[in-house]
Amino acid sequence: MHGGFKSKAPRYWLARAAVLCVLLLLFSVFSVVSVMANTVSATVLDGGASYTFSMNSADLESILYQAQQKGLEPLGPLDVAERVENTTTVNVRRGVKLRVTEAGQTSEYIAYKGDTVRKALAENNILLKKSDAVTPGRDMVIEADLAVDVKRSCEVTVTVEGKSQVVSMTGGTVADALEQAKVKLGPKDACNYSLEEPLFDKMNLRVSRMVKVTVTADGKTGEYEIAAQRVQAALERCGIKLGKDDRLNVSRTDMVRDGMAIQVERVRVEEETVESDLDYTTYYEYDNTLYAGEEEVKTPGEKGQRKTTYQVTYVDGEMENRQVLSDVVTKEPVQEVIRTGTKQKANMAGSQGVSLPGAGTFVDYMGKTVSYSSKMVGECTAYSIPGGTTSIGLEAKYGIIAVNPSVIPYGTRMYVASPDGSVVYGYGVAADTGGALLDGTVIADLCYDTVEECSAIGRRDMVVYILS
């Protein structure tokens, strides 16, 4: 039994050693495969030079670092490195200074070696027209710092004494444009740009010839020698400022002529507010508890107030017109009510009525306030004679009132109503008479078109207003 145990031990240890070797071999193979899977190929292009290598990282800084290890010159402050379409290929662009002079002004930009002048200008948002002049040429390849001169092709309008012409130039100054337009400036003439100003496209040059003008403004008249094209500019050069409402005897945009006389009227527009009283009206209320001729104030009258705003125009200090902008009643007037007696005293019965002196106003059946010169209170009757005529030859119809002409003359206009206003005859004219009028039985006989209408009055006390 002891001898058999010893013969099995070597086989056991050999088997375990074989398994360990196999595991070590598999680990080595997996490690190599993993390293190969993380390795990338990168290329850096720098002008005519190219650097290609393999590396484990694909970020831009690592690629540039590896390329520098292969001999790539480090990037300067103007240089840029750009990855080509998300690949591991990197393009290095070496920057140079680009100075561009245009219209007398010089600006500095960045360009890149190997680019053309055209591309460098376009990348810096300097766009060229075909007719523009560029020095050096647009197709020149940039290799170092470069100065470029751009002369724009432009059309310039030159206006002299109201006449304009267009000149086409490439570059140049205002003086060059005037020379090409054959315009010469006198010693006192003026231009809206200085002669040394560089030209630009669509530039408008206006030449003003020296002229003498007479200006009347603010009560003074003066003579001036100025160089200006338009009237308003001429006045400004004379030290005269115009308000927006001021008036001239010529248009502000008229061309200035030698010997021109300009008159200025100063216009001032203001708003003015005026407060004023509103008169109250008087209403007479007939009261049969008071004797005729007696009056009592039932409601005192109060004046109202109104506020009126005007727009007032003054020309050289004198008012020209006044226009109402608003008219507002801020307080309504209170109507005065007066109680007027109609009761007759015993000794007045059978008379021609009671005459109440004094003028006043009443409100007619249409709501209109009417003025009267005097009024009478007494008995009135009604009559109708269809087709008949009055004592003075008029047609007897509604509106004809018979009276005593010695008391109320023919032709007098009247308004007749009951004291309490419940019965209204209305407007009429004294144009007839009769026995009852002459003997004082009644003060007025009111004509109607029909007998039936006469019943509206019958025989009753009425107020006869003698109209103004």
Give per-residue pLDDT as tens, 32-55: 344 345 788 999 999 889 999 999
pLDDT at 8: 45
Give per-residue pLDDT as tens, 120-158: 999 999 988 888 899 999 999 999 999 999 998 889 999
Amino acid at 119: K
Residues 361 and 396 in one domain: yes
Residues 370 and 423 in one domain: yes
Q: Rounded distance, CA 158 to CA 165, Å? A: 5
What is the tally of structural domains in the chain? 6
Residues 365 and 444 in one domain: yes
Residues 44 and 136 in one domain: no
Do the domain assignments include residue 404?
yes
Residues 187 and 223 in one domain: no
Q: Rounded distance, CA 416 to CA 403, Å? A: 13
**Start-end of H helices in 38-88:** 60-69
Residue 413 has pLDDT above 60, yes or no: yes
Residues 320 and 360 in one domain: no
Convert 154-177 to b/e letters by CB count within 10 Å (16 or more is b).
bebebbbeeeeeebebebbbbbbb
Residues 454 and 351 in one domain: yes
Residue 57 has pLDDT above 90, yes or no: no
Q: Which residues contact 187 (CB under 8 A, 6 or more apart)?
A: none
Residues 131/102, Cβ–Cβ less than 8 Å: no
Tell which residue, 160, 169, 232, 253, has the closest CA to residue 203: 169
Residues 371 and 300 in one domain: no
Q: What is the mean pLDDT of the chain?
A: 87
Residues 429 and 328 in one domain: no
Do the domain assignments include residue 165?
yes
Whether the link from the prior residue into 300 is cis, omega within 30° of 0, is no
Q: Using 50, 70 and 90 to split pLDDT, how confident is the model at 285?
A: confident
Q: Using 50, 70 and 90 to split pLDDT, how confident is the model at 228?
A: confident
Residues 362 and 251 in one domain: no
Q: Which domain holds residue 244?
A: 210-265
Task: Residue 252: give its domain's CATH number.
Answer: 3.10.20.90
Do the domain assignments include residue 87?
yes
pTM here is: 0.41
pLDDT at 348: 39
Do the domain assignments include residue 4?
no
Amino acid at 249: N
Residues 163 and 79 in one domain: no
